[in-house]
Protein backbone atom coordinates (compact mmCIF):
# COMPACT_ATOMS: atom_id res chain seq x y z
CA UNK A 1 0.00 0.00 0.00
CA UNK A 2 1.31 3.48 -0.77
CA UNK A 3 1.32 5.76 2.19
CA UNK A 4 -0.59 9.03 1.78
CA UNK A 5 1.16 12.03 3.29
CA UNK A 6 -0.65 15.06 4.60
CA UNK A 7 0.70 18.46 5.59
CA UNK A 8 -0.87 19.83 8.72
CA UNK A 9 -0.42 23.53 9.50
CA UNK A 10 -0.31 23.97 13.29
CA UNK A 11 -0.97 27.22 15.11
CA UNK A 12 -0.06 26.68 18.77
CA UNK A 13 -1.32 30.19 19.47
CA UNK A 14 -1.60 32.05 22.77
CA UNK A 15 -2.38 31.39 26.42
CA UNK A 16 -3.09 27.70 27.01
CA UNK A 17 -2.64 27.09 23.26
CA UNK A 18 0.89 25.62 23.37
CA UNK A 19 0.04 23.43 26.41
CA UNK A 20 -2.93 21.79 24.72
CA UNK A 21 -1.21 21.58 21.32
CA UNK A 22 1.72 19.54 22.68
CA UNK A 23 -0.27 16.45 23.82
CA UNK A 24 -2.51 16.72 20.74
CA UNK A 25 0.49 16.39 18.43
CA UNK A 26 1.86 13.54 20.53
CA UNK A 27 -1.39 11.64 20.05
CA UNK A 28 -1.52 12.35 16.31
CA UNK A 29 2.13 11.40 15.86
CA UNK A 30 1.56 8.13 17.69
CA UNK A 31 -1.46 7.27 15.54
CA UNK A 32 0.30 8.20 12.29
CA UNK A 33 3.43 6.25 13.28
CA UNK A 34 1.52 3.01 13.65
CA UNK A 35 -0.64 3.40 10.55
CA UNK A 36 0.75 2.10 7.26
CA UNK A 37 -2.00 4.00 5.42
CA UNK A 38 -1.04 7.60 6.13
CA UNK A 39 1.54 9.93 7.53
CA UNK A 40 1.14 13.43 8.94
CA UNK A 41 3.75 16.17 8.57
CA UNK A 42 3.31 19.00 11.02
CA UNK A 43 4.37 22.55 10.31
CA UNK A 44 4.41 24.96 13.26
CA UNK A 45 3.30 28.40 12.14
CA UNK A 46 3.60 31.63 14.09
CA UNK A 47 0.56 33.90 14.59
CA UNK A 48 -1.34 35.48 17.45
CA UNK A 49 -1.22 38.07 20.22
CA UNK A 50 2.04 36.87 21.79
CA UNK A 51 3.74 37.10 18.42
CA UNK A 52 2.33 40.61 17.98
CA UNK A 53 3.63 41.68 21.37
CA UNK A 54 7.09 40.34 20.55
CA UNK A 55 7.41 41.34 16.91
CA UNK A 56 4.69 43.86 16.05
CA UNK A 57 3.17 41.40 13.61
CA UNK A 58 0.14 39.22 14.40
CA UNK A 59 -0.37 37.20 11.26
CA UNK A 60 2.67 36.97 8.96
CA UNK A 61 1.85 36.61 5.26
CA UNK A 62 4.03 33.49 5.16
CA UNK A 63 1.92 31.80 7.89
CA UNK A 64 -1.23 32.50 5.91
CA UNK A 65 0.19 31.18 2.65
CA UNK A 66 1.56 28.03 4.31
CA UNK A 67 -1.80 27.46 6.01
CA UNK A 68 -3.56 27.88 2.69
CA UNK A 69 -1.28 25.32 1.04
CA UNK A 70 -1.59 22.73 3.84
CA UNK A 71 -4.02 19.81 3.70
CA UNK A 72 -5.59 20.85 7.01
CA UNK A 73 -5.11 23.47 9.69
CA UNK A 74 -5.03 22.69 13.40
CA UNK A 75 -5.36 25.69 15.67
CA UNK A 76 -5.54 25.92 19.44
CA UNK A 77 -6.57 29.42 20.52
CA UNK A 78 -5.43 32.95 19.78
CA UNK A 79 -5.83 36.35 21.35
CA UNK A 80 -5.02 37.88 24.74
CA UNK A 81 -7.20 40.44 26.53
CA UNK A 82 -4.36 42.87 27.23
CA UNK A 83 -2.65 42.69 23.84
CA UNK A 84 -4.50 44.57 21.12
CA UNK A 85 -3.82 46.32 17.86
CA UNK A 86 -3.00 50.02 18.18
CA UNK A 87 -6.57 50.98 17.23
CA UNK A 88 -7.87 48.87 20.13
CA UNK A 89 -9.33 46.00 18.08
CA UNK A 90 -8.77 42.39 19.10
CA UNK A 91 -6.03 40.25 17.61
CA UNK A 92 -7.79 37.23 16.13
CA UNK A 93 -5.96 35.59 13.23
CA UNK A 94 -8.42 32.67 13.52
CA UNK A 95 -11.19 35.00 12.31
CA UNK A 96 -8.96 36.39 9.54
CA UNK A 97 -8.40 32.79 8.42
CA UNK A 98 -12.14 32.17 8.16
CA UNK A 99 -12.49 35.20 5.89
CA UNK A 100 -9.35 34.64 3.83
CA UNK A 101 -10.05 30.98 3.16
CA UNK A 102 -13.84 31.39 2.79
CA UNK A 103 -14.64 28.83 5.48
CA UNK A 104 -18.40 29.10 5.22
CA UNK A 105 -19.44 26.06 7.27
CA UNK A 106 -18.86 26.32 11.02
CA UNK A 107 -19.34 22.80 12.34
CA UNK A 108 -20.19 22.53 16.05
CA UNK A 109 -20.88 18.99 17.26
CA UNK A 110 -22.98 18.83 20.42
CA UNK A 111 -22.43 15.52 22.15
CA UNK A 112 -22.91 14.41 25.71
CA UNK A 113 -21.41 11.07 26.61
CA UNK A 114 -21.12 9.20 29.88
CA UNK A 115 -19.12 11.03 32.51
CA UNK A 116 -19.80 14.42 31.00
CA UNK A 117 -21.45 16.88 33.36
CA UNK A 118 -24.38 18.14 31.31
CA UNK A 119 -26.77 20.41 33.23
CA UNK A 120 -29.59 18.34 31.72
CA UNK A 121 -30.68 15.05 33.20
CA UNK A 122 -31.28 12.84 30.21
CA UNK A 123 -34.18 10.37 30.27
CA UNK A 124 -33.15 6.69 30.24
CA UNK A 125 -31.89 5.63 26.83
CA UNK A 126 -31.61 9.15 25.45
CA UNK A 127 -28.37 10.69 24.33
CA UNK A 128 -27.36 14.02 22.87
CA UNK A 129 -25.46 13.73 19.61
CA UNK A 130 -26.23 16.37 17.02
CA UNK A 131 -24.32 18.83 14.86
CA UNK A 132 -24.96 22.50 14.46
CA UNK A 133 -23.71 24.07 11.23
CA UNK A 134 -23.28 27.82 11.39
CA UNK A 135 -22.79 29.78 8.18
CA UNK A 136 -19.64 31.76 8.92
CA UNK A 137 -19.01 34.33 6.17
CA UNK A 138 -22.18 36.40 5.78
CA UNK A 139 -25.59 36.68 7.51
CA UNK A 140 -25.80 39.29 10.24
CA UNK A 141 -22.02 39.38 10.62
CA UNK A 142 -21.60 40.58 7.06
CA UNK A 143 -21.27 44.28 7.86
CA UNK A 144 -19.14 43.61 10.95
CA UNK A 145 -17.48 46.87 11.81
CA UNK A 146 -19.00 48.59 8.77
CA UNK A 147 -22.55 49.26 9.93
CA UNK A 148 -23.69 52.88 9.87
CA UNK A 149 -24.28 54.80 13.05
CA UNK A 150 -25.59 58.36 13.26
CA UNK A 151 -26.83 60.45 16.19
CA UNK A 152 -30.29 58.99 15.78
CA UNK A 153 -29.97 55.48 14.40
CA UNK A 154 -27.74 52.50 13.70
CA UNK A 155 -28.03 50.05 10.81
CA UNK A 156 -26.42 46.73 9.97
CA UNK A 157 -26.80 44.50 6.94
CA UNK A 158 -28.13 40.95 6.92
CA UNK A 159 -26.77 39.31 3.78
CA UNK A 160 -27.85 35.90 2.51
CA UNK A 161 -26.50 34.88 -0.89
CA UNK A 162 -27.67 32.03 -3.07
CA UNK A 163 -24.09 31.00 -3.80
CA UNK A 164 -23.00 30.55 -0.18
CA UNK A 165 -26.36 29.11 0.95
CA UNK A 166 -26.25 26.44 -1.75
CA UNK A 167 -22.76 25.33 -0.67
CA UNK A 168 -23.84 25.42 2.97
CA UNK A 169 -26.91 23.25 2.48
CA UNK A 170 -25.07 20.83 0.21
CA UNK A 171 -22.52 20.43 3.01
CA UNK A 172 -25.29 19.90 5.60
CA UNK A 173 -26.98 17.14 3.61
CA UNK A 174 -23.66 15.41 2.94
CA UNK A 175 -22.94 15.43 6.67
CA UNK A 176 -26.40 14.03 7.46
CA UNK A 177 -25.76 11.20 5.00
CA UNK A 178 -22.40 10.37 6.62
CA UNK A 179 -24.00 10.31 10.05
CA UNK A 180 -26.80 8.09 8.78
CA UNK A 181 -24.31 5.68 7.20
CA UNK A 182 -22.46 5.52 10.54
CA UNK A 183 -25.68 4.89 12.46
CA UNK A 184 -25.29 8.13 14.41
CA UNK A 185 -28.42 9.84 13.13
CA UNK A 186 -31.64 9.32 11.17
CA UNK A 187 -30.39 11.41 8.22
CA UNK A 188 -32.32 14.56 8.96
CA UNK A 189 -31.43 18.19 8.28
CA UNK A 190 -33.28 21.01 10.03
CA UNK A 191 -33.10 24.52 8.60
CA UNK A 192 -33.15 26.98 11.50
CA UNK A 193 -34.39 30.44 10.53
CA UNK A 194 -36.90 33.18 11.17
CA UNK A 195 -38.73 32.93 7.86
CA UNK A 196 -41.96 34.17 9.39
CA UNK A 197 -40.51 37.65 9.97
CA UNK A 198 -37.61 38.23 7.55
CA UNK A 199 -37.75 37.97 3.78
CA UNK A 200 -34.03 37.14 3.82
CA UNK A 201 -34.83 33.99 5.80
CA UNK A 202 -37.72 33.05 3.50
CA UNK A 203 -35.08 33.20 0.72
CA UNK A 204 -32.69 31.10 2.84
CA UNK A 205 -35.47 28.54 3.36
CA UNK A 206 -36.35 28.42 -0.34
CA UNK A 207 -32.74 27.56 -1.23
CA UNK A 208 -32.76 24.93 1.53
CA UNK A 209 -35.93 23.34 0.12
CA UNK A 210 -34.39 23.16 -3.35
CA UNK A 211 -31.34 21.35 -1.93
CA UNK A 212 -33.58 19.05 0.14
CA UNK A 213 -35.42 18.01 -3.03
CA UNK A 214 -32.08 16.68 -4.35
CA UNK A 215 -31.85 14.28 -1.39
CA UNK A 216 -35.09 12.28 -1.33
CA UNK A 217 -33.40 9.64 0.85
CA UNK A 218 -32.84 12.18 3.65
CA UNK A 219 -35.37 14.00 5.81
CA UNK A 220 -35.59 17.76 5.79
CA UNK A 221 -37.58 20.12 7.98
CA UNK A 222 -37.66 23.71 9.28
CA UNK A 223 -37.65 25.26 12.72
CA UNK A 224 -37.76 28.85 13.93
CA UNK A 225 -34.66 29.85 15.84
CA UNK A 226 -36.56 30.77 19.02
CA UNK A 227 -38.30 27.39 19.12
CA UNK A 228 -34.96 25.70 18.42
CA UNK A 229 -33.44 27.32 21.52
CA UNK A 230 -36.34 25.90 23.57
CA UNK A 231 -36.03 22.42 22.05
CA UNK A 232 -32.28 22.33 22.51
CA UNK A 233 -33.06 22.34 26.23
CA UNK A 234 -36.31 20.33 26.20
CA UNK A 235 -35.56 17.56 23.70
CA UNK A 236 -32.05 17.88 22.27
CA UNK A 237 -31.99 14.14 21.47
CA UNK A 238 -34.42 14.83 18.59
CA UNK A 239 -31.87 16.76 16.52
CA UNK A 240 -29.51 15.35 13.92
CA UNK A 241 -28.04 18.11 11.71
CA UNK A 242 -29.09 21.73 12.23
CA UNK A 243 -28.07 24.38 9.72
CA UNK A 244 -28.42 28.09 10.28
CA UNK A 245 -27.34 31.69 9.64
CA UNK A 246 -24.20 33.20 11.19
CA UNK A 247 -25.64 35.13 14.16
CA UNK A 248 -28.23 32.48 15.09
CA UNK A 249 -25.44 29.90 14.89
CA UNK A 250 -23.19 32.01 17.09
CA UNK A 251 -25.81 32.07 19.84
CA UNK A 252 -27.00 28.48 19.50
CA UNK A 253 -23.46 27.09 19.51
CA UNK A 254 -22.84 28.60 22.96
CA UNK A 255 -26.10 27.03 24.12
CA UNK A 256 -24.76 23.77 22.69
CA UNK A 257 -21.48 24.16 24.60
CA UNK A 258 -23.59 24.76 27.72
CA UNK A 259 -25.43 21.47 27.16
CA UNK A 260 -22.08 19.72 27.04
CA UNK A 261 -21.20 21.00 30.45
CA UNK A 262 -18.71 23.65 29.43
CA UNK A 263 -16.09 24.79 27.01
CA UNK A 264 -13.36 22.29 27.83
CA UNK A 265 -15.10 19.56 25.83
CA UNK A 266 -16.45 21.45 22.81
CA UNK A 267 -14.61 20.93 19.49
CA UNK A 268 -15.25 22.74 16.22
CA UNK A 269 -14.33 22.90 12.56
CA UNK A 270 -14.58 25.69 10.02
CA UNK A 271 -14.79 24.23 6.57
CA UNK A 272 -14.64 25.68 3.06
CA UNK A 273 -14.37 24.16 -0.38
CA UNK A 274 -10.58 23.79 -0.20
CA UNK A 275 -9.41 24.44 3.35
CA UNK A 276 -10.53 23.63 6.85
CA UNK A 277 -9.53 24.80 10.32
CA UNK A 278 -10.01 22.58 13.37
CA UNK A 279 -9.97 24.20 16.77
CA UNK A 280 -11.58 23.97 20.20
CA UNK A 281 -14.51 26.34 20.87
CA UNK A 282 -12.79 27.88 23.87
CA UNK A 283 -10.41 30.82 23.84
CA UNK A 284 -6.84 31.13 25.07
CA UNK A 285 -7.86 31.06 28.78
CA UNK A 286 -5.05 33.38 29.97
CA UNK A 287 -6.28 33.02 33.56
CA UNK A 288 -5.00 29.43 33.70
CA UNK A 289 -2.20 29.57 31.10
CA UNK A 290 1.19 28.10 31.95
CA UNK A 291 -0.11 25.99 34.84
CA UNK A 292 -0.59 22.66 33.06
CA UNK A 293 -4.24 22.51 34.22
CA UNK A 294 -6.13 23.30 30.98
CA UNK A 295 -8.46 20.64 29.66
CA UNK A 296 -7.06 19.41 26.32
CA UNK A 297 -10.10 17.26 25.42
CA UNK A 298 -11.80 19.84 23.15
CA UNK A 299 -8.55 20.08 21.20
CA UNK A 300 -8.24 16.27 21.00
CA UNK A 301 -11.82 16.08 19.70
CA UNK A 302 -11.06 18.81 17.14
CA UNK A 303 -8.07 16.75 15.98
CA UNK A 304 -10.38 13.73 15.67
CA UNK A 305 -12.69 15.78 13.43
CA UNK A 306 -9.66 16.72 11.34
CA UNK A 307 -8.69 13.07 10.78
CA UNK A 308 -12.25 12.18 9.77
CA UNK A 309 -12.53 15.16 7.40
CA UNK A 310 -9.14 14.46 5.79
CA UNK A 311 -10.00 10.79 5.43
CA UNK A 312 -13.32 11.48 3.74
CA UNK A 313 -11.85 14.09 1.44
CA UNK A 314 -9.03 11.80 0.31
CA UNK A 315 -10.85 8.50 0.46
CA UNK A 316 -8.56 7.23 3.18
CA UNK A 317 -10.54 4.84 5.35
CA UNK A 318 -7.73 4.46 7.90
CA UNK A 319 -7.83 8.18 8.66
CA UNK A 320 -11.61 8.15 9.10
CA UNK A 321 -11.31 5.13 11.38
CA UNK A 322 -8.54 6.75 13.44
CA UNK A 323 -10.65 9.89 13.87
CA UNK A 324 -13.45 7.79 15.32
CA UNK A 325 -10.92 5.85 17.43
CA UNK A 326 -9.60 9.06 18.96
CA UNK A 327 -13.14 10.26 19.71
CA UNK A 328 -13.92 6.94 21.40
CA UNK A 329 -10.69 7.08 23.41
CA UNK A 330 -11.65 10.53 24.72
CA UNK A 331 -15.12 9.21 25.57
CA UNK A 332 -13.62 6.24 27.40
CA UNK A 333 -11.31 8.41 29.53
CA UNK A 334 -14.24 10.70 30.39
CA UNK A 335 -16.49 7.77 31.22
CA UNK A 336 -13.86 6.22 33.51
CA UNK A 337 -13.88 9.51 35.38
CA UNK A 338 -10.44 9.05 36.93
CA UNK A 339 -8.22 11.37 34.92
CA UNK A 340 -10.03 14.69 34.73
CA UNK A 341 -8.89 18.28 34.77
CA UNK A 342 -9.98 20.88 37.30
CA UNK A 343 -12.82 22.26 35.14
CA UNK A 344 -14.42 18.79 35.32
CA UNK A 345 -13.97 18.53 39.06
CA UNK A 346 -10.72 16.57 38.97
CA UNK A 347 -7.07 17.29 39.67
CA UNK A 348 -5.29 15.85 36.65
CA UNK A 349 -2.75 17.90 34.72
CA UNK A 350 -3.08 18.62 31.01
CA UNK A 351 -0.30 16.23 30.01
CA UNK A 352 -1.70 13.44 32.24
CA UNK A 353 -4.96 13.61 30.28
CA UNK A 354 -2.94 13.27 27.08
CA UNK A 355 -1.18 10.17 28.43
CA UNK A 356 -4.50 8.65 29.52
CA UNK A 357 -5.87 9.05 26.00
CA UNK A 358 -2.74 7.48 24.49
CA UNK A 359 -3.06 4.52 26.92
CA UNK A 360 -6.70 4.15 25.92
CA UNK A 361 -5.77 4.18 22.23
CA UNK A 362 -3.21 1.45 22.83
CA UNK A 363 -5.64 -0.61 24.93
CA UNK A 364 -8.26 -0.36 22.19
CA UNK A 365 -5.94 -1.89 19.62
CA distances from 350 to 15, 18, 89, 300 (A): 14, 11, 31, 12
Q: Minimum Å distance from CB 329 to ligand ATP?
A: 18
Residues 257-286 interacting with ligand ATP (rule: CB under 6 A): 263-264, 282-285
Q: Minimum Å distance from CB 179 to ligand ATP?
A: 26
Given CA atoms 345, 351, 353, 356 in this order, what sign does their dihedral have?
Answer: negative
CA distances from 7 to 38, 71, 97, 199, 265 (A): 11, 5, 17, 43, 26
**Measured distance CA(132)–CA(170) in Å, rounded:** 14
Residues 54-93 interacting with ligand ATP (rule: CB under 6 A): 79
Closer to ligand ATP by Cβ: residue 134 or 215:
134
Which one of Mg ion, ligand ATP, none interacts with residue 343, CB within 5 to 8 A by kind? ligand ATP
**Measured distance CA(271)–CA(105) in Å, rounded:** 5
**Measured distance CA(321)–CA(318) in Å, rounded:** 5
Q: Which of 362, 365, 363, 354 is nearest to 330 (CA)?
A: 354
If binding is defined by CB under 6 A, does position 288 make contact with ligand ATP? yes
* 3-state class (DSSP) for residue 83: strand
Closer to Mg ion by Cβ: residue 110 or 241:
110
Closer to ligand ATP by Cβ: residue 212 or 297:
297
Closer to ligand ATP by Cβ: residue 109 or 311:
109
Closer to Mg ion by Cβ: residue 276 or 285:
285
**Measured distance CA(11)–CA(64) in Å, rounded:** 11
If binding is defined by CB under 6 A, does position 14 make contact with ligand ATP? no
**Measured distance CA(343)–CA(50) in Å, rounded:** 25
Q: Minimum Å distance from CB 226 to Mg ion?
A: 23
Which one of ligand ATP, Mg ion, none interacts with residue 79, CB within 5 to 8 A by kind? ligand ATP
Which one of Mg ion, ligand ATP, none interacts with residue 350, CB within 5 to 8 A by kind? none
Given candidates 17, 23, 283, 296, which one binds Mg ion under the rule CB under 5 A?
Answer: 283
Binding site for ligand ATP (CB under 6 A): 79, 263-264, 282-285, 287-288, 294-295, 298, 343
Amino acid sequence: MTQAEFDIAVFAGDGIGPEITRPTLEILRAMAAESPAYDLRFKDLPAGATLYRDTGEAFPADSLSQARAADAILLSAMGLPDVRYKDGTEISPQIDLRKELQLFAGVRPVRVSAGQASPLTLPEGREIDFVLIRESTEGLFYSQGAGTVTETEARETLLITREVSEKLFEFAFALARERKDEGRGPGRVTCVDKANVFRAFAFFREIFDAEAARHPDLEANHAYVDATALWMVQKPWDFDVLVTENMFGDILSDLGAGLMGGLGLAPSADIGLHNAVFQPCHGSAPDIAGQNVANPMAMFLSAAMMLEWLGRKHDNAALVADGARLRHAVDAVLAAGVVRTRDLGGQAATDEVGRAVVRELCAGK
